[in-house]
Amino acid sequence: MTVPRSLVWEVTSRCSLPCVHCYNVWSRGEHMAELAPGDRLRLVERLAPHRRALRALTLSGGEPLLLSDLEQLVAGIRRVLPRAQINIATHGLLLTPQRARALRRAGASAVQLTLLSARPDIHDGLVGQQGAQMMVLAAFAAAKQAGLGIASFFVGTRRNIEGLPGAAKLALALGADAVVFNRFQPGGRGLSRWRELTPTPDQLARAVTEIQRLRARAPLALGTPLPPCEAVGLEVLSCPIGTRNAYPCIGPDGNLRPCNHWPVGGGSLLERPLEQLLKQPLFRRPPGAPAPECQGCRWTRCRGGCPAARTLAGAAIYRAAREKATASAAR
């Protein structure tokens, strides 16, 4: 298989926030071992044969800023992948001006900051810490002053999706280069409450209208798959597994998974080369069985949305699929 253009690396499973919507596969209480600093640098060296193919590497977690050696890791990646975009996906609470400058000096390109609402009470309620939004706003300033690029991520749940326009406008006013919209996907800690966190069809329809309006004035991208049955008028964003647009995920233990939403791995990058791991069926087609509710759908390019979220929820999670399943059960 061709090596994808980007990888995600969950460098730690530790995090200082109990976000209710967290999709991390270990956030329901499972423990995941973490590589030692030396092993992390050894793993970076394993990526050297793919320096031309890999265009981006995103360091996430957990919370990557909890790593005391993060700057050394970034410097090691920059040496091995001199042309790659190195992103730091962080909740922002630990991104001080000093840390932002240190990351930039080490070779980081940009940060991905999560801003869930322009209203502090809504943002703080979702992440589980009072005063968190104020600290994220300070992180925007720290990143901007350090010369880091900024992408502001918005996770649309039933609690906050109505505030997408306000959050996007605030992020752009603070210097964000782009806003990324992610529809809430069941997984991790959010799995036990996915029905109450999933936006309603009406909320999603209004969000689609707002996305179209915002795109006329600012860069706004879609992150997670958003099937056309929920987002009529937007581009079809299907599961990218098995394509050059895939983003395989390296876990804190070095295990490679098809994406950061799927809990099953295919082996350790410390033990097997990347190109060998990617030849496994797990990485060549979307995981899980095709959704029976999507059979016969005219939007064939959709491929049923996010198969990981659908499989983990064990139920139809998208609008048209839920409606079809409900109608079938009623007959």
SS3 105: helix
User: What are the distances in angstroms from CA 142 to CA 72, 100, 211, 318?
Assistant: 20, 6, 27, 38
* Contacts (Cβ under 8 Å, ≥6 apart) of 100: 111, 139, 142, 143, 145, 146, 148
Structure tokens at 107: 């070779």
Q: What's the whole-number mean pLDDT along residues 302-315?
A: 83
Q: Helices 164-173 & 201-215, crossing angle to 10 degrees?
A: 30
Cβ atoms of residues 206 and 245 within 8 Å: no
pTM: 0.93
pLDDT category, 113, cuts 50, 70, 90?
Answer: very high
Task: Give the integer Cα–Cα distance in Å for 52 and 44.
Answer: 14
Q: How far is CA 41 from the centre of its chain?
A: 23
User: In the prediction, which pLDDT does 79 show?
Assistant: 98
DSSP 3-state of 243: coil
pLDDT digits (tens, 9 = 90+) for 198-210: 999 899 989 999 9
Mean pLDDT, residues 62-66:
97
And the tokens for 265? 């791995």
For position 134, what pLDDT does the model report? 98
CA nearest to 233, candidates 210, 267, 203: 210
Q: Is-contact 93 62, C-beta < 8 A?
A: no
For position 296, what pLDDT does the model report? 76
Confidence of residue 297 (pLDDT cuts 50, 70, 90): confident
What does the DSSP assignment read for 294-323? GTT-S-GGGTTS-HHHHHHHTS--SHHHHH
Question: Averaged over 131-135, what is the pLDDT?
Answer: 98
Q: Average model confidence (pLDDT) for the chain?
A: 90
68 has a pLDDT exceeding 70: yes
Does the pLDDT of residue 116 top 70, yes or no?
Answer: yes
Q: Which helix (H) or strand (E) holds 246?
A: none
φ, ψ of residue 177 to 5 degrees: the values are -85, -25
Share above pLDDT 90 across residues of the chain, in percent, rounded to a whole number? 71
Tokens 């999933």: give the residue.
198
Give the amino acid at 302.
C
